[in-house]
Structure formats: structure tokens, C-alpha cells
Structure 1
């Protein structure tokens, strides 16, 4: 018994006899409000525990030899598909001119309605006896071999369509001044098709796979070629003085989508006011790695962008009309990792919530209770005085 009595003296939580309890209205209200507040905080903490949290880290990007995938969907309301081309190049010297693979073009009318989706190129020959390379017309059972009009790379090279003639000219660095002088272009109705599509627009979408180095890709009228180490486009064939490069970027992303990704150029619309010019986007690409709660990893990118318009007047007529995207890679990689809050951490937070609210509500209740008693005593003293 003596040992038990000594243990009672060590009790850090002495109990008060229920006969001394005094329950008040204010205490009941404080209990109700503090309990509701406690439940709200508990469910908020439970939601955080059940859902994954995302940790963000920054590190130096040491990856080498990777490629960069560029997904795009751009609409040009006043630029026909027949004259629109896509080029890509980077600082390593690699060039992809007049890109056609993995690209889809849709002709659209002035109201934005799709007219048709077709592959690049103007069309097939429309007459039975096209002009042969040797100068005569195609005879029966004779294999067709059209002339490249001086742009042949070898003696046995043939250009059987207007597109092949234009490609041969591009490789030579020549511009095609009058397509009607080219038999293939004349019988395919090159200029006629351009005139028919005048006033139309074009929606072009797809993706590019480029080296993971700084570079640019651009949408511009005409076929591109190198002339004295300068990148130029053949615009004479279209017989137009200016081109309207108004555009809307429906989507532009560097890599795959990941949760929380925001592409700042999605939905951006720009309308050309000047007669002609070059619209430029300068993009800083930040490599990003997203790892979900199951350990699945998504290699992607985020980017920031600034914009600039170069009027042809400032370039003395030498500014190439088009929409250019210049991109550069950041040396810093961002990693997002989804993690679960540990049960011990959740339990600690719940205990902190319960203990904190219980303590604060007790202080408030004590302040109200003793304040009421003090006021009551003063009123009693004033009544009997």
C-alpha cells in the first residue's frame, strides 16, 4: 500500500472530483465550435495523407545524346496549305527542310471550317502525253522521265512532277520564277491551284523529332534552300507581294504531357497588322522529369517564351515572312516526385491538431469564465453598497 501511495504522488495528471465541476453555457458553445474546427482540420489532414504530395528538386542536366520531341498544332487563317512549309534546323548544322513526315495539313475556309485534309503536293499529271526529258512527248509503252530543267543531279535523274522539279531546284539553290514555264507544273495546275486556294487558311499539326540542342523551326511560305550559306525561301513562284502570317497556336509542347504541365503558348492568337514581316518566339526549354506515386517516369519539358515581330520595312525588304520558334535548352533540370505522407507524420499532425485546439479553447473558456465571475462579483458589490 505504501508503494501505491507513493506512485499516486507521482501522478502528473491529478483528477478533480466531479462535485467541483461547473458547466457553463459559454463552455458548451466553445466546445461545439472547437470540435467542428477540429473535425475540419482532421479531414483536411486526412485528405493530404490519402493523396500524393509532390516534391520538387533542381539539378544539373547531364543527359547526352537525347532527342527533343516538339508537338504542335497551329492554324493560319490567311495562308493556304499549298504554299505553307515547315523547316527545322539546329546549331549542330542539321537541317530538315520542307518537313512532310508526321505532318498533317487541313485546308480551312474563311470561317474556320475544314475543307479537306490532304498530303503535300499539288496533284497528278492531267494529260496523257507529258513532255519527256529528251524534248518529245510521251509515246505509248514508253517510260516517262520528265526534265528537271537543268537541275538534274545526274544524267539519269528524272523529275516526273512539279514537286520533284521544285525539289531539284531547291537542292541546287535556285528559285522557281515562273511555274507555267515548267511542263509538270503547268499540266498539274500549280498556279491554278494556288489561285483557287486564295483566301483559304491552313491548319498544320504533327510533331518534330530534333536533336536536344538549341535550334529553331519555322512555318513560312515557299520552299526553302541555301543560297550563299543563307537560308531563303522561294516566294517568286507564288507571284504575291506580301503574305499574311496571322496565326493561332492551338497547342505547342516540348515532350509528353505530365500532371500540372502548363504550356504558355496554348491558345495564343496573333493578328498581322503590317503588310508583311516575321513573327518570332524565343523559347527557353527546361528539361523536366515527373515520377508518379507508382514509380512511372515521364521525360518531358517546360518552357517560357518571349515574342517579337520584325517588320519587313526595317530589313529593307529582306525579312522572310513566317512564324519562327527559336528554342534554347536550360542546363537545369526540374524533377517532380509524387510521395505519400507517412502514417507516423499523419498521426503526429492529428495529435498536434487535437492538443492545440483543446489547449487554445481551454484558454478562451477560462478567460470567459473568470471574466464573467469578476463582472458578477463587481455587480454584487455595487448592489449591496
Structure 2
């Protein structure tokens, strides 16, 4: 009969050696210390990876197309007065936001050296005197033929067609595509000091910053000279004063341009930089009759942070193109021909992506992954150490055997 338990003993994969058969060597001690030091470094690296916060991206279909999108911009124009500029938004649905100064934008007047003069609302004529001050209650200003006022005598006061201030006359002229110039000889503009103000500011620059809301569809936001007017068939600007006076241009510096809230997570600093690729861009090329265009591809983005906070924002890529309005061949690429015509200005053409990127903050490894890595490291280092020790011991034994002969 076989000894008790002998069947189980045959499965023992960890056979023990007798203590008297163990031999300790100096090389074995050095290899052991090396293994311990290596293991410490590996465990520290796995621990750092376990505590590291990373972002894992995921791509899904954007289902929030009905929401509005914020555009944040801060742009400096060193060669263009604030009073000569209009800011409009258009999209493919036919929605127009003309002269969007009323949507929270701020202008900062700049002197010839780029220093700030004062701040005010972007709306042209914002610092004029009260247009109704010292005027009779039944006053109805002339529109100088830009609007039909022939039937005013037959209408009540609140139904009359009137242009009671300089801004009303400017818009009336824009509606019929008439040149307004600087408002000289226009009663309302002379009374409000608009003419003198425009003349005194022709050598200034302008910095515009603020936020506007747009539909989440393709469109553009643009800076152009003069008052603008939009209809289903056209969108025009009054270029009369821009063409008549000064050495103006739309040379610019993009201090900041983004869509939606800013990325605030400390772990997303690299993504924050890549999400606003136009920040700090300077465009000094071109002259008075030059068109600057940026073609922007907007990708909705969600950040889900470890603390449970969810941030809905956007990332975008951009391609720049500029051309002279006179058209002709490109100086740098003679085979390239530019189209002729257009409006001088700065245009941002945006295209909305139908996909959304979801960035989730997570730790670099789980507890189970960390433990498994440590165990694997211990086993691997001990195995390699044992093989190295046997090799060194065998080599040392062979060398000693030759010397003893």
C-alpha cells in the first residue's frame, strides 16, 4: 500500500530543498539587491499610474442640435475705428443678427500706439447726447428720401415714419443701399455731434470682445465696415466712409476665440490649448481692400469629471485664407488665381459637426489592475533573478573547476 498522502504529494509544484543543500554566494546577494531595487521602482511607477487622472475620449452622435451655441471672441483691429465697424451673424437657416452690439459686446477704443482710450458699448453713436433732448414732443425727423414719409400728415404721431436720430438715418440709408459717408449735412447727426466724433476718431483702432449666441448650424460671423442691411436676397454694407477716408484695414490680432464655456480642469490643460487654436494669431498681411476668412469646424464636446461635474463645450479646428478684393494671381503661388469682388472684412465661417466627443476623467488603473501589475512584477523579477543567479553560479563553478586542475 502506498504511503498516506503520496498521491497528493505528486502534484506539489513547489518542491522544497534541504537547508543543508543551500549555498549562498556574493553574486547571489548582489542579484537579490538588484531585484529588490528594480521591484521598488516598478511598484512606485505602477502606484503613480494608479493615481494618475487621464481622459478617455468617446465618439457619439450629437443629439443636442436644438441648443444655442455661444461664441466668445476678443479681437483687436489696430487700423479700424470702432465707429466704422459692424458685427453681424448669418446662418444657412436664413436667420440674421445684424449689428449684434446689443448682445453684450464691448468695444475698446485704441490710440495709434495701441493703448486703450475708453470702453463703451459697441453700438455706433453710443456716446451721443440724448436725441430727444430739447425736441418738441411732436418732432418727426426727416429720412431724406430713404423712407416714404409722404403720408405722415394723415397719420397719428405714433404711426408716422420718422428718423429722429442719426442712427435711424444710417439704418434707413442702409436699407436702400445709399452711401451715408460721415453724416455731414444730416440734421440729426449734426445735432448729436456724430460728424465731429467720426472725424476725430479716424486714426484710432478698436478692440472688440464679448459673447453671442448662434444656432447650431452652419453660418458665419463677420466684421465689416459701415452699417449693414439684410433681406432674404442680399446682405449689404455701406462702404462709403471706409472707401472715402483714411488708410483703414482689417489687419487683426485674435486674442481669444472659442465656442462655449472654457475648459477649467487642471488635467485638461493640453486639451484647453488645442481647443482654441486661433488664440494669439496675428494677421498683418493685406491692405485696405483685403478679405480675411477663417473656416472653422466645430465639434461639440462634453467633459465628465471625477467629482461628478459635467461641462458641455466645444472644440474646433480652423483653416485661414485671405485674398485681395481685386483678385488676380497669388504672388507666392503664380498658378493660383483669386476671385474678384467681395466686402473687405474679417469672416469666421463655422460648420457644425454631427458627432460629439465625450471626454471622461478616470484613473490610469484600477485596484485590481494595480495589484495584478505588482504581482506580475514580483514574479517576473524573481524568475529573471533566479535564472541570472544560476547562470552566474554555473559560470563561477566552471571557472573554479578549471583552476583546480
Where 2:278 maps in the other structure, the secondary structure is coil
1:106 is the counterpart of 2:108: yes
Distance 1:121 1:53 in 2: 48
Q: How does 1:180-195 map onto structure 2 within 5 Å?
A: 180-195=184-199
Contact 1:104–1:205, Cα closer than 8 Å, also in 2:
yes
Give 1:252 deviation, angstroms: 1.0
List per-residue Cα deviations over 1:205-226 (Å, max 9, x = no partner): 1111000000000112211124
Distance 2:133 2:47 in 1: 80
Partner residue, 1:121: 124
Where 1:266 maps in the other structure, the secondary structure is coil
Contact 2:166–2:189, Cα closer than 8 Å, also in 1:
yes
Contact 1:245–1:272, Cα closer than 8 Å, also in 2:
no
Q: How does 1:59-208 map onto structure 2 within 5 Å?
A: 59-100=60-101, 101-119=103-121, 120-122=123-125, 123-125=127-129, 138=135, 142=137, 144-152=139-147, 155=152, 156-177=160-181, 179-208=183-212
| Equivalent residue for 2:343, pick from 315, 320, 326 | 320
TM norm structure 2: 0.82
1:372 is the counterpart of 2:396: yes
Where 1:301 maps in the other structure, the secondary structure is strand
Distance 2:131 2:97 in 1: 33
Alpha-carbon spacing, 1:177–1:80, altered in 2? closer, same or farther (3 Å): closer
User: Structure 2: where are the runs of 5+ without partners?
Assistant: 153-159, 328-337
Partner residue, 2:359: 336
Give 1:58 deviation, angstroms: 1.4
Where 2:184 maps in the other structure, the secondary structure is helix
List per-residue Cα deviations over 1:177-218 (Å, max 9, x = no partner): 451021122233334323322332211111110000000001
Distance 2:128 2:292 in 1: 34
Give 1:264 deviation, angstroms: 0.9
Alpha-carbon spacing, 1:349–1:311, altered in 2? closer, same or farther (3 Å): same
TM norm structure 1: 0.86
| Equivalent residue for 1:276, pick from 283, 289, 292 | 289
Contact 1:125–1:184, Cα closer than 8 Å, also in 2:
no
Q: How does 1:231-310 map onto structure 2 within 5 Å?
A: 231-238=235-242, 239-240=244-245, 243-258=248-263, 259=268, 260-261=271-272, 262=274, 263-310=276-323
Q: How does 1:212-231 map onto structure 2 within 5 Å?
A: 212-226=216-230, 229-231=233-235
Partner residue, 2:331: none
Between the two proteins, the alignment pairs up a number of residues equal to 372
Distance 1:112 1:374 in 2: 84
Partner residue, 2:156: none
Where 2:375 maps in the other structure, the secondary structure is helix
Contact 2:165–2:188, Cα closer than 8 Å, also in 1:
yes
Distance 1:243 1:26 in 2: 82
